[in-house]
Amino acid sequence: MNLLQNKKIAIIGGGPGGLTLARLLQLKGANVKVYERDLNRDVRKQGGTLDLHTESGLKALEEAGLMDAFKANYRPDADRVRVVDENAKIFFDEHNEEPNGHFGDEWFRPEIDRGPLRNILLDSLQPDTVVWDSHMVSLESIDNTWKIIFENGNTVIADIVIGADGAKSKIRPFVTPIKPFYSGVTVLEGNIYDSEKNAPKIHDLLQGGKIMGLGDSKTISVSAKGDGSLDFYTGWKVDTNWVTDSGIDFKNSNQVLEWFKKEYSNWDSIWLELFEVENTIFIPRPQYCMPLDQKWEAKTNITLIGDAAHWMPPYAGEGVNMAMLDALQLSESLTNEKFTDLKSAIAHYEKQMFARFAEIGKETLDNTEFMHSPDGLKKLIEMFGQGPN
């Protein structure tokens, strides 16, 4: 029995999870559209690098028939990490090691920039699968279908709606009232163009890979990108309302620099390079997490994947991998002949997703806590399997 026959599927959100799901469903002959709020595929600069894992992100790409495209676009050695303290002293360095794995190895985690990954997925879809400039504002249930209303005035009717619309999902309230809780850590994100010129000391320390800096119960992580820029993220423990209570204008780089000098006063001056570049756009991101024991009764024609389903902090590198594995498992459930109705298929997917999130979410929260503790550096070095020098 083909549960998707004559069904129109609407995926809300064109990130890696939503696009992977669209590709996998199209391979099975499904009628699917992706509704993305961006005006077009080039309007927004895509964020940092992503490390894909064998059992999740890479597995989904394999099933999607896109591994050759991935291998042509990933960045060898961009996964090499340097762990440093607040003075930029190196305690662990993968640049001195042999290449750490190959495709098929359990622990191989090749890096790809978010932009090229998105392009691989977009280029794999049938023409006009993605409907751009589609910012959803509301959803109405009508006779076992969904009426989706967009900001631009367009409306569509879909038989099945899948929320792949991220942490602040507008689809989630139609699936569950469960809300996220604050993790205790806020991240400030920035990007520096032409890092060799604009942040030469950090650029040299990066060596085209990643830096994880820990000290004073705070973190700074930096990732090199293929376009010569770098992304960086500061993380520290602070009240949930800090973003508004601080009074900082995050578009004013001088104000952010002054804040950094005070908040990270025990850190070496090398890190100031990240904040002294004029016109850097800073994005504050309080880190939330869904309850690890979250569950809800499956609906007949709506579900969630990715951050919309299980928003969590970034300190395990699992976000995009979870989203892509969600896409794989949901596509398998929806096209599995053994299910006689959509609710059963959705319930089967959600049961797997809940179990995975309970485990990986705990790991993520544990990492978030220890990395922002006085012993963060020591524990991270131990996690990498090497004691302090």
β-pairing verdict for 155-158 and 145-150: antiparallel
Could you tell me whether strands 136-142 and 145-150 are parallel, antiparallel, or unpaired per DSSP bridges?
Answer: antiparallel
pLDDT tens profile 178-227: 999 999 999 999 999 999 999 999 999 999 999 999 999 999 999 999 89
pLDDT surpassing 90 at residue 131: yes
Distant-in-sequence, close-in-space partners of 385: CB < 8 Å, separation ≥ 6: none
pLDDT band at 78 (very low <50, low <70, confident <90, very high): confident
Which residue reads 């967009």 in tokens?
A: 150
170 found inside a domain: yes
Assess whether pLDDT exceeds 60 at residue 389: no
Nearest CA among 280, 365, 324, 371 for reference residue 114: 324
Q: Please state the rounded mean pLDDT for residues 57-79.
A: 92
Evaluate whether residue 309 is within a structural domain.
Answer: yes
Q: Do strands 283-289 and 181-192 pair parallel, antiparallel, or not at all (unpaired)? A: antiparallel
Tell whether residue 114 is among the known ligand binding residues: yes
Q: What is the mean pLDDT of the chain?
A: 93
Pull the structure tokens for residue 281. 């756009």
Q: Is the pLDDT of residue 1 over 60?
A: no
Q: Verify that 168 and 188 share a domain, yes or no.
A: no
Count of other CB atoms within 10 angstroms of residue 39: 12
Domain count, the chain: 2
Q: Are residues 126 and 14 in the same domain?
A: yes
In a domain, 318, yes or no: yes
Asked if 263 and 192 touch (Cβ cutoff 8 Å), the reply is: no
Specify the higher pLDDT residue, 278 or 347. 347
Q: Return the ∠ at Cα 50 (arms to 249 and 16), rounded to 5°.
A: 90
Q: Where are the alpha helices (DSSP H) in 179-240?
A: 195-198, 200-206
Residue 113 annotated as part of some ligand binding site: no
State yes or no: pLDDT of 45 exceeds 80: no
Q: Which of 99, 112, 22, 17 is closest to 67 using CA atoms?
A: 112
Residue 26, pLDDT above cutoff 90: yes
What is the rounded average pLDDT of the residues 370-378?
Answer: 96
Looking at the structure, tell me whether residues 301 and 329 fall in a common domain: yes
Q: Examine the domain organization and report whether 14 and 142 are in the same domain.
A: yes
Q: Is 285 annotated as a binding residue?
A: no
Give the end of a domain, one of 288, 315, 348: 288
Q: In what order do the strands lie in the sheet with 155-158?
A: 136-142, 145-150, 155-158
Residue 307 near residue 39 (C-beta atoms within 8 A):
no
387 pLDDT tier (thresholds 50, 70, 90):
very low
**Whether the predicted pLDDT of 385 surpasses 80:** no
Helix axes 319-334, 16-27, angle to 10 degrees: 30
274 and 316 in a common domain: no
| pLDDT over 80 at 104, yes or no | no
Domain residue limits at 55: 8-75+110-179+290-368
The pLDDT confidence band at residue 47, using thresholds 50, 70 and 90, is: low
Do residues 212 and 283 both lie within one domain? yes
The confidence band for 333, taking pLDDT boundaries of 50, 70 and 90, is: very high
- φ and ψ at residue 133, rounded to 5 degrees: 55, 45
Is the per-residue pLDDT at 99 higher than 70? Answer: no
Same domain, 131 and 214: no
**How many Cα neighbours within 13 Å face the side chain of 336?**
19
Question: Does 172 carry a binding-site annotation?
Answer: no
Query: Which of 65-79, 292-306, 336-350 is least confident?
Result: 65-79
Q: CATH code at 46?
A: 3.50.50.60
CB 65 within 8 A of CB 20: no
Indicate if 160 and 191 belong to the same structural domain.
no
Is 259 in the same domain as 149? no
Residues 245, 354: one domain?
no
Please check whether residues 52 and 142 belong to one and the same domain.
yes
pLDDT in tens, 336-345: 989 999 999 9
- Let me know whether 128 and 156 are in one domain: yes
Indicate the residue among 288, 304, 337 that finishes a domain.
288
Is residue 283 in some structural domain? yes
